[in-house]
Amino acid sequence: MAKKDYKKLSDDIIAAVGGVENIRSASHCMTRLRLNLVDASKLNIDEAKKIPGVINIIVQNGEQQFVIGQDVPSLYEEVIKNPIKAAGSVDDAEALKADTQAQKGSIVETVLSYVGGTFSPIIPVFIAGGLTGAIISLLSTFAGLDASNGTVIVLTAIQQAMLYFLPIYIGFSSASRLKSNPYLGAFLGAVLVYSTINNAEGLSFLGLPIAQIGYNGQIFPVVLGTLFMSVVYKFLQKSLPINLRTIFVPLLTMLITVPVTLIVLGPIGYWVGTGLANAVLAIYRFAPAVAVAIIGATTVWMVFFGMNNATYPVLFLLMAEVGSDPLICTGMAPANVAVGGACLAYALLHKKDPEASQVGTGAGITALCGITEPGVYGVLFPNRYPLIGAMIGGGVGGFIAGLLGLTQYVVAGPGFLSFAAYMNPDGTWFNFWGMMGVMVLAVVLGFICTYTLGKRELKKKAA
């Protein structure tokens, strides 16, 4: 396979959206290049989809998302070599006004766009920290290293910092998404986990009591705090004279935001997060097999509509509350690899068509590794019967995973490449082999169902 020319791909995309001057900001998630355009009408989506290297284009809440694949960071590096504003930059009141107008959309679209843009960039932190925990487990099991070993201490710091300082990462990412100052967002997160604030007893501010809350690992307190901070920041940015902004905008923003967050928004966010986590766990515990099966069967739809990003808050809450994810990633693992099985069956059915066979094979291998966009957009939805096969494989695999109580211990792209994510830190192997078996079953079912349905479909067309 020829190596991608990311420079040319970048130039083609920029030309398709109306040039550099039509791009307000650029960012990316795991597989998509996300562009915010000044004038969205300049993008001809049908023509842009024909660009080699572009799998699909999704438009959500005024944002143009070019589905590229797992190598999207390489493309992003080429894109931002052009004079494009970094996501989250704010220059003046007019820019703020234009950005607000560009972001108008339905409430659902706005929420999904905000959630995806906030949590997607944090995934690499969870992958690095989580898989480090798997390495510690391997060293403990096979090398006999204990917690007092210097190597283990360093690796444990990497693992623990992932969740402990989560409010800082979310603060930065959330503020960036809100087109506020991301460093002030990170600053707010750092205040929440500061030693004299985090889980402090008997604390007050100007006589007003501050609830005792452990903010490390929490999501919603800093999310609500950065939402409020963004309003304050943008108001001050528009209201204060230019020569006073440098000093007084950040100062007043933090002096207003921090007390309001600690006294009001932090406790609300903590109760919301705790309540949501308890509700999700209650549903899972009531019918674990059904709950995971639903995730397994519907993941391809969530990916197609870009709604898989909406699962990130629940995923992070589960990791913080129970130390693993028995629902979201556990259901998505068989779903992803079932897409691989469906795509490989499609390739076999079309072996006489070199182009279709190549698309199916490439998408199938990629899906087995945990990246399903090529298969979802290129094979499943255009042909339907592979979609049914993948949903059956993912649903059955998820049902068995829930029935056996399997889980994913770290956040990583669900699939065979993330095998270490299924290793139990206590050194036992039931969960690991159980997840491997479930994923193999999902691949086989996805393949068989797709092949059977495809045979019938091809016979109908030939008749």
- Give the tens place of pLDDT for each residue, 355-394: 788 889 988 998 998 888 888 888 898 888 999 999 999 9
Measured distance CA(342)–CA(388) in Å, rounded:
9
* CB crowding 80-98: b at 16 or more within 10 Å, else e: beeebbebbebeeeeebee
Q: Both tokens of residue 366? A: 């990629």
Indicate the pLDDT class of residue 69, thresholds 50, 70 and 90. Answer: confident
pLDDT at 85 over 70: no
> How buried is 290 (Cβ within 10 angstroms: 0-12 exposed, 13-18 middle, 19+ buried)?
middle
Task: Answer whether 449's CB lies under 8 Å from 389's CB.
Answer: yes
Task: Answer whether 443's CB lies under 8 Å from 338's CB.
Answer: yes
Q: Both tokens of residue 370? A: 């945990």
Task: Answer whether 128's CB lies under 8 Å from 158's CB.
Answer: yes
- Name, in order, each residue with C-beta under 8 angstroms of 289's C-beta and a sequence gap of 6 or more: 399, 400, 402, 403
Mean pLDDT of the 213-239 span? 92
Measured distance CA(35)–CA(243) in Å, rounded:
32
Q: What percent of the chain has pLDDT over 70?
A: 92
Measured distance CA(262)–CA(193) in Å, rounded:
11
- Cα-Cα-Cα-Cα dihedral of 40, 73, 181, 312, to 10°? 90
Indicate the pLDDT class of residue 403, thresholds 50, 70 and 90. Answer: very high
Give the residue among 174, 204, 110 at the shortest CA–CA distance from 102. 110
pLDDT of residue 103: 47
